[in-house]
Structure 1
Amino acid sequence: MKVAIAGAGAMGCRFGYMLADSGVDVTLIDGWKTHVDAINQQGLFVETERGSRHYSLPAMLAEDAHGEFDVVILFTKAMQMAEMLQKIAPVLASAKVVMTLSNGLGNIETLEQYVDRSVIYAGVTLWSCELEGPGHIRATGSGNIELQPLMSTDMTTAGRLVEMLNHAGLNAELSANVLLSIWKKAAFNSVMNTYCALLDCNVGGFGRRPDALEMARTVVREIVQVARSQQIPLTEEMVMHTVQKVFDPRESGEHYPSMHQDLHKGRLTEIDYLNGAVARMGEAQGIPVPVNRLLTQLIHAKEAQ
């Protein structure tokens, strides 16, 4: 399969080099010219626990995107997805699979405005990565992927997609209910991203706080109520199991979540697609969501500083 990764930030680059290293023809697409130029001129510089290496990968600016690809994987941040989809329209036209692995709620609804539902795959991933600078990522820890076609019954294509991802070591599997997984990941990120950003710490640092689990539960309880109002069978236990697991340094304890990275680099965050989305939906349904509303306001205040 020929693959384009739209949104070649930290996660897009991690998937890109892992796929390329397994023999897949990968092209990176991004909107940051300095980053794209660095990758084209020097290769993508990847640091891992085992050492560092440059990977030769073609990269192009979103507005210059062209070519035919079997698979387009979207890692664009939720608030930038519509703009990215508009710019890469020539690339989307030939894709047999358009998969979103972006964080947050509402990405599927955005994607449906630009491509036919029959080619959409929704997914979630627990892989993590950090963008250290133009053309430079630090990839630590391991992860997995859950994915599901929204409408397609073409299991041959689905099987080939999973096989390709697993050959690259990305630990992919087909999900029976990806919407539940998306809500579970959004709840997880509404805890880890938001608290680590506000407390200026990594995942393990938050986990070492004696009140970390109770702080997490106050967020998750509200999200569970909102999810159930949307017919999503989310439970507190589902989310808290993952929260506790990643506190371990062998998992993702040393990782600084993307919201923390965004604030430190002066970028807007995805808060409106995490705690903010939950707050909006909860208030529309008459469900009390004071914790998620307050956390959203605090992140916006940090953005404004």
Structure 2
Amino acid sequence: MRLAVIGAGALGGTFATLLARAGHHVTVTARGRALDVIREEGIRLSGGFGDTHARPAALERLAETPDLTLVCTKAHDAAAALSFNAAAIAGSPVIVVQNGLDGVTTAARLLPGSDCFGALTLIAAHYEAPGVVRVTTAAPTYLGRGSGAADAATRRWQAVLDAAVPTIALDNFVGAQWTKLIVNMLNALPAITGLSVQEVIDHPGLRRLMTASMREAVRVARARGVRFGQLQGLDDRSLRRFARLPLWAGQRLPLQLRARMGSVPNQGSTLQSLNRGQVTEIDYLNGAIVREAAASGLEAPVSALLTTLVHEVETSGVSLTPDAVLARLPRH
């Protein structure tokens, strides 16, 4: 099949390489030095899915209509990337591989003639240089759309992706987006401190703060009437129970997530963006919790603080020590 991958970062590079290895004709979009490197040297993938070298076609803008397009940009770049490539992909199926809550609705709004799906991936990948990606955690990707059962079109594209990278068709995709958003509460503190996810969870004070952000996010979701989807061993029942636990007991959740990561340091996507000098997608992670809370007349002070601190590090370029982070917590 003719497949396109918009965005050649950590996840885009991973999907493009694995799809090419499975025998598909893959075209990726990139810009600047990344475009030049991929054209000249291809993409080298190492780590959890094995060592692979692929030479996909590389363009700044798609020129032909593919059979399927994967959008692998950061959440804040999705609308611009879709609009930039709309002439080629309008009317053809699109899968948005993205954090946050808005990816599928954004694609459907900008491409009204396209069949739009979402993908939630648990793959952890590190962008080491243009055209060089290392997978630190090999894990499944979940494909779906809407709040109902996975439909026939979802299952068709799941089969295509699954031949290249483990992919599961998912019921209640919207609920699963919220579950993934809870898991993505792992991202802010590594970005603020410069520590790996594992190091953050190993620090007692930071682990408590991370747990508080997760618990707050679950409570906001409940206020919004969300029924959490099943993802990474979590579901509606377990997350509702987690939100009722005292803070000390709730710390089991980040510890469980840490155990699944293994020992290879996981920077998290937000810290990787900072390390590359790029704007982060924090406004679509913790920032989304703040907005959803406001829509229900609530506040989300923990996510508001973490969003502010990530933006401060974006501006200053200087990480905060754990003590400096904990000192910013409001006193009661």
Give the alignment's TM-score, normalised by structure 2.
Answer: 0.82
In the alignment, which residue of structure 2 is the partner of 1:61?
60
In the alignment, which residue of structure 2 is the partner of 1:120?
116
In the alignment, which residue of structure 2 is the partner of 1:256?
267
Select the residue among 302, 306, 311 that pairs with 1:300: 311
In the alignment, which residue of structure 2 is the partner of 1:41?
40
Q: Which sits farther off after the overlay, 293-302 or 205-214?
A: 205-214
* Residue deviations 1:15-62 (CA, integer Å, cap 9, x gap): 1111111112211112x2211111111111223268755321111113
- State the Cα distance separating 1:184 from its structure 2 match: 1.2
- Could you tell me whether the CA contact under 8 Å between 1:218 and 1:291 is conserved in 2? yes
In the alignment, which residue of structure 2 is the partner of 1:224?
218
In the alignment, which residue of structure 2 is the partner of 1:177?
172
| SS of corresponding position for 2:109 | coil
5 Å-filtered alignment, 1:14-163, equals 14-30=14-30, 32-48=31-47, 52-62=51-61, 65-95=62-92, 97-116=93-112, 119-150=115-146, 155-163=151-159
- State the Cα distance separating 1:158 from its structure 2 match: 2.9
In the alignment, which residue of structure 1 is the partner of 2:319?
none
- Could you tell me whether the CA contact under 8 Å between 2:147 and 2:174 is conserved in 1? no
Q: Which sits farther off after the overlay, 177-186 or 148-157?
A: 148-157
5 Å-filtered alignment, 1:193-212, equals 193-212=187-206
Residues 3/156 of structure 1: CA separation in 2 closer, same or farther (3 Å cut): same
- Could you tell me whether the CA contact under 8 Å between 2:6 and 2:69 is conserved in 1? yes
- State the Cα distance separating 1:281 from its structure 2 match: 2.0
CA distance in 2, matches of 1:19, 1:173: 16
In the alignment, which residue of structure 2 is the partner of 1:187?
182
- Could you tell me whether the CA contact under 8 Å between 2:98 and 2:118 is conserved in 1? no
Letter in 2 for 1:73: L
Residues 242/10 of structure 1: CA separation in 2 closer, same or farther (3 Å cut): farther
Residues 51/75 of structure 1: CA separation in 2 closer, same or farther (3 Å cut): closer
Residues 179/154 of structure 1: CA separation in 2 closer, same or farther (3 Å cut): closer
Q: Pairwise CA RMSD of aligned residues?
A: 2.5
Residues 151/5 of structure 1: CA separation in 2 closer, same or farther (3 Å cut): farther
- Could you tell me whether the CA contact under 8 Å between 1:148 and 1:176 is conserved in 2? yes
CA distance in 1, matches of 2:148, 2:217: 29
In the alignment, which residue of structure 1 is the partner of 2:299?
288
- State the Cα distance separating 1:140 from its structure 2 match: 2.5
CA distance in 2, matches of 1:301, 1:244: 27
CA distance in 1, matches of 2:298, 2:201: 28
- Could you tell me whether the CA contact under 8 Å between 2:146 and 2:174 is conserved in 1? no
* Residue deviations 1:255-275 (CA, integer Å, cap 9, x gap): 111111111222111011111
CA distance in 2, matches of 1:225, 1:51: 40
- Could you tell me whether the CA contact under 8 Å between 1:3 and 1:25 is conserved in 2? yes
Letter in 1 for 2:170: S
Letter in 1 for 2:197: V
CA distance in 2, matches of 1:5, 1:45: 16
| SS of corresponding position for 1:139 | strand
Query: Structure 1 unaligned runs (5+)?
Result: none
Give the alignment's TM-score, normalised by structure 1.
Answer: 0.89
Residues 54/145 of structure 1: CA separation in 2 closer, same or farther (3 Å cut): closer
Residues 40/198 of structure 1: CA separation in 2 closer, same or farther (3 Å cut): same
- Could you tell me whether the CA contact under 8 Å between 1:8 and 1:29 is conserved in 2? yes
Letter in 1 for 2:64: G
- State the Cα distance separating 1:156 from its structure 2 match: 4.7
* Corresponding residue pairs, total: 299
Q: Which sits farther off after the overlay, 1-10 or 225-234?
A: 225-234
**Does 2:208 correspond to 1:214?**
yes
CA distance in 2, matches of 1:157, 1:227: 28
Percent sequence identity over aligned pairs: 28
- Could you tell me whether the CA contact under 8 Å between 2:187 and 2:268 is conserved in 1? yes
| SS of corresponding position for 2:208 | helix
